[in-house]
Structure 1
């Protein structure tokens, strides 16, 4: 009998949470969504997400330390064929945009640390956080929902774009350059 009550209580709670989520306006609904790319106008971007954790190479990192820079966050796994395919394009975009105040951060998910380190070696020169449980994606108002996925944070740390597919340099670089050309909202110009 206790199991039935517990199950009924759990189902009621899940239903309540689901209904509340459906009735509220999400950040994603206020942004443009075209061809798997969600772009948010500066006045539609929500508060910066908290993204921090242990780096694959050791030490820790908090994306808040990169305020003032555009941060391209790529969710990846060594087991993911599209992740392998996009690695060169991510690195090329990083190299082409870093002089414009752009930095990149990988977030490795659902992986063993050894496999993640081996995958990253020689492929990319920017750091990656180790998040085998995929918890960091939960901090985002517009979750990536797929692997690979790329999230572009503006200079204020807010989500400006989410790409829910593997990227190519010719698609990613113009988005990054456009966001890098924006003036930060925190400078008082908006």
Structure 2
């Protein structure tokens, strides 16, 4: 292999690695400016004081099983939004914890909703939910348009998985731009559930 061919190959491998890491990773900051009033704790969970929260955008559309869903219908409940893809390793790791905590809070004024992104069809998404025991609905968002509806600086479309907690008034209360286990998810969820 010539030096030039080797350099081209190494460049291509580096580019693929960079794309892979940016599309499904851990941590980082939200894309772009705009003051979203998030205060990030040392646990990677960012919260917004109750009086400074921005309203969640319209999150409606078809679910991965073809039904219609509008997150606004859950106003009055705390809503956990989890952005995931079946292709994402950290999403597979955290799925068991989201299934567990969603069952734990069933019937207690908390609604979990997934946003499946970048799956080219619903087939792998449905298989993912079945494999991991996910019993709550997931909006199908193959191109990431729903994520782009959030106020600039709230989410980074390159960081999957991401989780948001929407308070009972429909405002964004907390976020994590990395995979969560049940302990971290509960630390994020419990304070919002405790609000009156």
TM-score under structure 2 length normalisation: 0.77
- For structure 1, the residue ranges without an aligned partner over 5 or more in a row are 1-20, 184-190
Query: Deviations along 1:74-123, whole A, 9 cap, x unmatched?
Result: 00001001100000100111111233210100010000211111111142
Contact 1:73 / 1:152 at 8 angstroms: preserved in 2?
A: yes
CA-CA distance at 1:31 after TM superposition:
2.1
- Larger RCO, structure (CA 8 Å, separation 6 or more): 2
Q: Which runs of 5+ in 2 are unaligned?
A: 1-31
- Equivalent in the alignment of 1:57: 65
Alignment of 1:72-87 (within 5 A): 72-87=80-95
User: Match of 1:34?
Assistant: 41
Which is richer in helix? Answer: 1
| Alpha-carbon distance between aligned partners in 2 of 1:126 and 1:43, rounded to the nearest angstrom | 29
1:33-182 equivalences under 5 Å are 33-35=40-42, 36-111=44-119, 112-123=121-132, 124-141=134-151, 142-145=154-157, 146-182=159-195
Aligned residues: 159
TM-score (ref. length: structure 1) = 0.79
What is the DSSP-based 3-state SS (H/G/I as helix, E as strand, rest coil) of the residue aligned with 1:100?
coil
The runs of at least 4 aligned residues of structure 1 exceeding 3 Å deviation read: none
Q: C-alpha separation between the residues in 1 aligned to 2:156 and 2:179? A: 12
Between the aligned partners of 2:137 and 2:161, the Cα distance in structure 1 is: 16
